[in-house]
Amino acid sequence: MNILITGGAGFIGSHASEHFLAQGHRVIALDNFDPYYSPDQKRRNLNVALQNSNFRLVEGDYGDRIFVSKLLQSEKIELVLHLAAQAGVRQSLVDPLKYEKVNVGSLISMLEAMRESGITRIVAASSSSVYGNTTPAPFKEDAPCLKPLSPYGATKRASEIFLGTYNGLHGLKAIIVRPFTVYGPRQRPDMAIAPFTRKILLGETITLYGDGSSARDYTYVSDIVDGLSAAVNSSPADYGIYNLGGEAPITLNDLIKALEKATGKTANLQRTSLQPGDVERTCADISRARKDLNFSPKVRLAEGLEKTVAWVREELRREGKAV
Amino acid sequence: MKILVTGAAGFIGSHLIPTLLQHGHTVAGLVRFSTTASDSSKRRVARLEALTAQQRDKFQLLRGENLKGLPDLLKKFAPDVCIHLAGRSWVRESVGWPEVYIDANYRFTTGLVQSLHLVGCKRIVFGSTVMVYGKDAPLPYMEDQLGSSPASPYGASKLACEVLLNTFHALHKMEVVNLRLFSVYGPELRQDLVPFLIAAAILRNKPFTVFGDGSSMRDYIEVRDAVAAIEAACVGHETYEALNVGSGFGTSLLELVQLIEKSLGKKAELVYKPAVPGELAVAIPDISLAMENLKWEPKVSIEEGIERMAAWFKSSESPLRG
């Protein structure tokens, strides 16, 4: 199958590219190399994929309707795996218009490009942040999700609403996944695990927000890719929303302990108050994904952390910071 | 109270602003020119300009186009409450032009609410719509039973706005009232709305096209009743994630045609075509939550409301005159 992956050079996108190439699909990765975090890191993310002749990297804006329309047609795309987003909960409080543009406005332009190109399938990544602070845990997909805690979460919910509308109005086959706090090699530097690891290894101080009791349902990136793979390959339904979570939420304090164990070093901590926009906990009910997508998270936190720590060590060596 | 009204030159805004002024509020009306191109909106803008001359200390007109400049534009007026009515609201148009709807409704609301937060405005009353309900929402509509995604990009853009405003409540303690307005009608009615189209066909001796069999049912609420609900929502500090604002009664399309025929004293010529995708067959609310919480009730019967609108259709103000 010819698959367009938006955000194909990003953290999840680059892993997904490799996965679908290994399955024999043809992958067109579309990425604008936005400078929200290092474009160099994103280019390195594609080192493996670029060696495959079934892979093509296209640099551009997924919200450019005419450009995307041409791309969809010239590459005979059959399915769009939509992973491009403006991520970052805290920054969304500062510049909500940017999040509106990238996460909603651009999506509508792409959906219109798909419509005029006759492409009827999309698998799109939303976010666990749509649940906000008011949904009872464990989070179920049928919760109303009308009150996220950040503009980031609100824009992801808006994107889900529009995908639902396009399904009803134009017959777009849309599978939406809600990944829960994804971590692993190539993780974005504004998230918790990889940057924490980096600081522990370098002996730098980690700033912890809140009393450490906030909890996250960390999910290893290969498990997320497995979930995406099931959604792409089996097309379980014309429309559906699926949680993809690791099924083992842990508190921030326990995460630090686990990282100390994985690195063999003690973390220097500095505590400050919880940041606006940060939810208290995320916790997925994954029974729907288990049933329809045969989804089952395989990588336990200890193992995932080990792999992440190994990647961070490699990165530090490459930067000449031997640890 | 200092009240900012967006969509000041729109249909509802043109009724709301004189009412707010009458009740002693200080009002600023925000107009965006890209969305106010029709002759009637130009006329309404002219009327607002006249109002600024008459009530210099009580009313001002703010002209905004650039979203990034909005905080600066609003800083001086520093509203206590914003009534947000601006946006595009034609279901059929939104199916063909979803990007325009995202821009006019969702993006504008994003810029507006962030600006309100930055200038310290504590309360926003948002004109949402019946179109946020999905096709499978149980009838009569209850606020917490949305059903599947809205049937049109217009409805989707409005629901996305509700979600964003709820987020600003959760995040910044901004007080939010999302009013889901049903089919508002009355003098100054927009020209794309069904009662206008019916009256226009009758007065111009043209056929009126009925999409479907004419049994499709809407809740028509007279604009004075809608204005009263909007005004009531400005008071207090409670947040309501959603309140249905309708008359509480359903009227079929054919019944509406008959009422307008009667008030204009002339028959319509009807042509039938298949139903339009994206449009709901029945859209009737339960309005008890709004009645209870806003201490408000609709007062104008459909017969009385249609008579008043018909008088406007026949007046010198009417775009249908001559």
Distance from CA of A62 to the nearest CA of B (A): 14
Dist. CA A249–CA A254, nearest whole Å? 10
Cβ–Cβ under 8 Å, residues B77 and B120: no
Q: Residues in chain A, how many? A: 323
Summarize the confidence of residues A298-310 as an average pLDDT: 97
Summarize the confidence of residues A99-112 as an average pLDDT: 98
Closest chain A CA to residue B131: A165
Summarize the confidence of residues B131-142 as an average pLDDT: 95
Q: What is the pLDDT of residue A64?
A: 98
Binning pLDDT at 50, 70 and 90, where does residue A233 land?
very high
Q: What is the predicted ipTM?
A: 0.96
Burial B193-228 (b: 16+ CB within 10 A, else e): bbbbebbbbbbeeeebebbeeeebbbbbbbbbbbbb
- Whether B36 has a pLDDT exceeding 60, the answer reads no
Cβ pair B98:A164 closer than 8 A: no
Q: Which of B95, B164, B169 sits opposite A151 (nearest CB)?
A: B164
Cβ pair B241:A154 closer than 8 A: no
Cβ pair B277:A157 closer than 8 A: no
Question: Domain limits of chain A?
Answer: 2-180+219-246+282-298
HSE at residue B262, side-chain half, CA atoms within 13 A, is 13
Q: What is the pLDDT of residue A49?
A: 98
pLDDT in tens, A175-219: 999 999 999 999 998 888 999 999 999 999 999 999 999 999 999
Summarize the confidence of residues A87-106 as an average pLDDT: 96
CA-to-CA separations, A66 to A60, B145, B165, B275, B308, in angstroms, rounded: 12, 38, 32, 31, 48
CA-to-CA separations, A99 to A158, A175, B101, B156, B220, in angstroms, rounded: 11, 22, 17, 17, 36
Q: Return all residues near A138 (Cβ < 8 A) that are at least 6 apart.
A: A283, A284, A285
Is A157 an 8 Å CB contact of chain B?
Answer: yes
Q: What is the pLDDT of residue A117?
A: 98
Q: What is the pLDDT of residue B141?
A: 97
CB-CB neighbors (< 8 A) of B103 in chain A: 105
HSE at residue B228, side-chain half, CA atoms within 13 A, is 15
Q: Residue A269, SS3?
A: strand
- Mean pLDDT across chain A, nearest whole number? 96
- Whether B279 has a pLDDT exceeding 70, the answer reads no
Summarize the confidence of residues A132-146 as an average pLDDT: 96
Q: What is the pLDDT of residue B64?
A: 81
Q: What is the pTM of this model?
A: 0.96
Could you tell me which CATH class the domain A2-180+219-246+282-298 is placed in? alpha beta
Enter the DSSP assignment of B106. I
Task: Note which residues in 2-31 of chain A have CB less than 8 A from chain B.
Answer: none
Distance from CA of A32 to the nearest CA of B (A): 21
Cβ–Cβ under 8 Å, residues A8 and A50: no
Cβ pair A108:B102 closer than 8 A: yes
- Percent of chain A's residues with pLDDT above 90: 94
Dist. CA A41–CA A311, nearest whole Å? 13
- Whether A235 has a pLDDT exceeding 90, the answer reads no
pLDDT in tens, B228-246: 999 999 999 999 999 999 9
Q: What is the pLDDT of residue B281?
A: 81
Is B152 an 8 Å CB contact of chain A?
Answer: yes
- Whether B322 has a pLDDT exceeding 70, the answer reads no
Neighbours of A51 (CB within 10 A): 9
Residue bearing the bigger pLDDT, A323 or B63: B63
Cβ–Cβ under 8 Å, residues A103 and A155: yes
Distance from CA of B132 to the nearest CA of A (A): 10
- Whether B278 has a pLDDT exceeding 80, the answer reads no
CB-CB neighbors (< 8 A) of A150 in chain B: 167, 171
Catalytic residues of A: 152
Cβ–Cβ under 8 Å, residues B93 and B37: no
Single out the residue of B213, B293, B284 nearest to residue B253, CA to CA.
B213
CA-to-CA separations, B158 to A71, A121, B91, B110, in angstroms, rounded: 31, 25, 11, 12
pLDDT in tens, A22-70: 999 999 999 999 998 999 999 999 999 999 999 999 999 999 999 999 9
pLDDT in tens, A113-133: 999 999 999 999 999 999 999
Is A163 an 8 Å CB contact of chain B?
Answer: yes
Residue B224 amino acid letter: R
CB-CB neighbors (< 8 A) of B152 in chain A: 165, 169
Is B118 an 8 Å CB contact of chain A?
Answer: no
Q: Residue B13, SS3?
A: helix
Neighbours of A148 (CB within 10 A): 31
CB-CB neighbors (< 8 A) of A126 in chain B: none
Dist. CA B255–CA B32, nearest whole Å? 36
Cβ–Cβ under 8 Å, residues A6 and A110: yes
Q: What is the pLDDT of residue B33?
A: 60
Catalytic residues of B: 154
CB-CB neighbors (< 8 A) of B241 in chain A: 146-147
Dist. CA B160–CA A153, nearest whole Å? 11
Cβ pair B166:A277 closer than 8 A: no
Cβ–Cβ under 8 Å, residues A181 and A217: yes
Residue A210 amino acid letter: G
pLDDT in tens, B58-115: 999 998 878 889 999 999 999 999 999 999 998 889 999 999 999 999 999 999 999 9
Q: What is the pLDDT of residue B319?
A: 85
Cβ pair B171:A161 closer than 8 A: no
Dist. CA A60–CA B105, nearest whole Å? 26
- Whether A87 has a pLDDT exceeding 70, the answer reads yes
| Range of lowest pLDDT (A29-38, A167-176, A278-287, B30-39) | B30-39
Q: What is the pLDDT of residue A288?
A: 97
Enter the DSSP assignment of B141. B
- Mean pLDDT across chain B, nearest whole number? 94
CB-CB neighbors (< 8 A) of A133 in chain B: 170
